Amino acid sequence: MLFFFGSLAVAQTPQEKQKVDIKSGYLEKKPEFPDAIIYTKDEAGQVYIVHEGIEMWCDQAYVYLKENFVKAYGSVRITQADTINMRSKYAEYNGNTQFAFASGDVVMKEPKTTLKTDTLYFDRIKQQAFYRTGGTVIDTASTLTSRIGRYYAKDKKYQFLSNVVITNPDYIVNSPQLDFYSETGGAYLYGASTIESDNSTVYCDRGYYDTRKKTGHFVKNSRVDYENRILYGDSIYFDQEKSFASATNNIKVLDTVNKSIIRGHYAEVFRAKDSVFITKRAVAITLRDNDSIYVHADTLQVTGKPENRIIKGFYRARLFKRGLGNEQPTSGKCDSIFVDQKSGITKLLRNPVLWTGDNQMTGDTIHLLSNTVTEKLDTLKVFNNAFLAQKDTLGTGYNQTSGERLIGLFHNNELDTVNINKNAQVIFFSRDEEQKLVGINNTTSSNIQMYLEDQQVRGIRFIKQAKGKVYPPSQFPENARILPGFNWRGEERLLTVEDLFKGKPRPVLPKINGIPLPEDEGEFFEEMDEEELDLPPESKLKPEDLQNREDDPKQRTRQSEEQQEGKIKNDSILEDNSEENK
């Protein structure tokens, strides 16, 4: 057995790879390891080895000069400038390939994160580290775990595959594929991913999340679930700290408590305030009595707790209820609309008009009340300058009633009784059983009560009649057949859901750029034959350890997506050709 101290350097020709340089350690030779020079730590410290910018410390090193190969044991530490600091129980380093392997409580540190795993490979040529037996990355704000991980030193980026989890005191992220940038804390999510917190859950197939600021941008099948609301959209921005989310293009806000949906192309949700703001073809759809009630305006705002939801519509507001079975639709227009779902009241404000069946009602303000138990229409109130008009079924005239206030009562969602109070006037075309016009009733009274059947006026009762009579048609001139304040707006009546947007241009939607899949940077291990691996026989590794595994999940990339899309397109063409040849 021979003993030496100090540094060992070996002369080399220009064609040779630079040899590892052992700077310190207690040196010895053992007959059982004829090809190795063994260095052991001494009183001066650990064994110290350098090679082309990398430094290694360990308790004992077996150095194979012919192979330019080192096996390091005990408290191993490998550093590369200020970018990589790796510790483990055992490590190997190949000076020819500049490839390192570490095992046993491996800890790799870079400026912002710490990686812990059982086995780690580090390719100095690629400046990449890789594990596939499970690993944990500890960031300044979170802990990330995955089965497979790859670190790109130049970009300060981790690429995680298979069961990726980010754990933070305020949220948990799950994703099948995730790219994490350690300098910024930014995480790119690929595949069906979730971000769960106490108050919300984000779902997406593609997204970006700042793990430190707790903000994100999500595209492709993205949605945010709150306690009683679900927000969908082509593109969603999310701020957890502010309890805020916004969505762009084809958005939908689902109210799970009140059985309502709001649609549009831009929305903002303030969870803490229980507030939703929506615009760009905004429409709120509420299910009542097995029928859908639509409220549309240029801008909609929904506020209040679930048990006290209020919908406000601003500018060019419209209302539509299709009706069930043989029911005729109910619809309305106004400048602004107010809906209190708890009390069942709907207010049409500023220049309102309401149609129930063929009856048109106008006034300064219109209130429509529903029975909160049965959810059916119950009462109609028109305040100030109330006016009810209905086309004469067979002629060109109009049945008209006006007064200061109108109160209508519904039965099975159809107007049944109408009371006109104060300064009431009426013009009504009376017909016999054969529908022949027999007279025109023109009467003024303090109050008038009208009875309807199938939404048509069938009878009139005058209370404290003042003056008026039924005139023969020939004795009642055409120019007298219109009451003051008459304004027929039948051409504006909404007959279908599509009429909610009649006369309004479709909004110009912004282009969603999306988040592309990452570029294909190849596998960590190069595909090569065993004889090309340059794997020293003394290594603990086997050739199969340095090969990619077929059963390992593969990274989704732009190139793989293009290939998949191309395959689907080709399969579709082949299928079409096959159908044509049948």
* pLDDT, tens digit (0-9, with 9 covering 90-100), for 38-49: 999 999 899 999
Copy the structure tokens of residue 350: 């500023």
Q: How many CB atoms are located within 10 Å of the residue 426 CB?
A: 23
Handedness of CA 149, 151, 156, 157 (dihedral sign): negative
Q: Tell me whether residue 532 is exposed, middle or buried, using C-beta atoms within 10 angstroms of its C-beta: 0 to 12, 13 to 18, 19 or more.
A: exposed
pLDDT of 393 above 80: no
Contact (CB, 8 A) for 97 and 534: yes
Give dist(CA 294, CA 283) in Å, integer.
7
41 Rama sector, left if φ>0, alpha if ψ -120 to 50, beta otherwise:
beta
Give dist(CA 127, CA 396) in Å, integer.
87
Whole-number average pLDDT of the chain: 88
Q: List pLDDT tens digits, range 285-344.
A: 988 778 788 999 999 999 888 788 899 999 999 999 887 777 788 899 999 999 988 888
Confidence of residue 124 (pLDDT cuts 50, 70, 90): very high
pLDDT of 14 above 80: no
Contact (CB, 8 A) for 234 and 512: yes
Maximum separation of any 2 CA atoms in the chain, in Å: 139
Domain contains 181: no
Number of domains making up the chain: 1
Q: What angle do CA 257, 258, 262 make, to 5 degrees?
A: 110
pLDDT of residue 578: 61
pLDDT of residue 448: 84
Domain contains 52: no
Domain contains 328: no
C-alpha closest to that of 152 among 115, 189, 119, 117 = 115
pLDDT of 193 above 70: yes
Contact (CB, 8 A) for 266 and 283: no
Confidence of residue 428 (pLDDT cuts 50, 70, 90): confident
Q: List pLDDT tens digits, range 435-448.
A: 788 888 888 888 88
Q: What is the CATH number of the domain that holds 478?
A: 2.60.450.10
Domain ranges, residue 380: 344-493
Mode of pairing for the β-strands spanning 143-146 and 99-110: unpaired
Give dist(CA 232, CA 225) in Å, integer.
9
Domain contains 553: no
pLDDT of residue 411: 84
Q: Supply φ then ψ for residue 572, to 5 degrees.
A: -65, -40
Give dist(CA 58, CA 214) in Å, integer.
41
pLDDT of residue 2: 36
Q: Rounding to the nearest 10 degrees, give the CA dihedral for residues 317, 323, 329, 331.
A: -20
Give dist(CA 340, CA 109) in Å, integer.
58
More confident residue, 398 or 8: 398
Give dist(CA 150, CA 446) in Å, integer.
86
Domain contains 547: no
Domain contains 332: no
Q: CA-based Rg of the chain, rounded to a whole angstrom?
A: 40
Mode of pairing for the β-strands spanning 157-168 and 186-196: unpaired
Domain contains 425: yes
> Mean pLDDT, to the nearest integer, of 406-431?
86
pLDDT of 107 above 50: yes
Contact (CB, 8 A) for 148 and 161: yes
More confident residue, 478 or 208: 208
Give dist(CA 118, CA 236) in Å, integer.
38
Domain contains 319: no
Confidence of residue 8 (pLDDT cuts 50, 70, 90): very low
Q: List pLDDT tens digits, range 155-166.
A: 999 999 999 999
pLDDT of 529 above 90: no
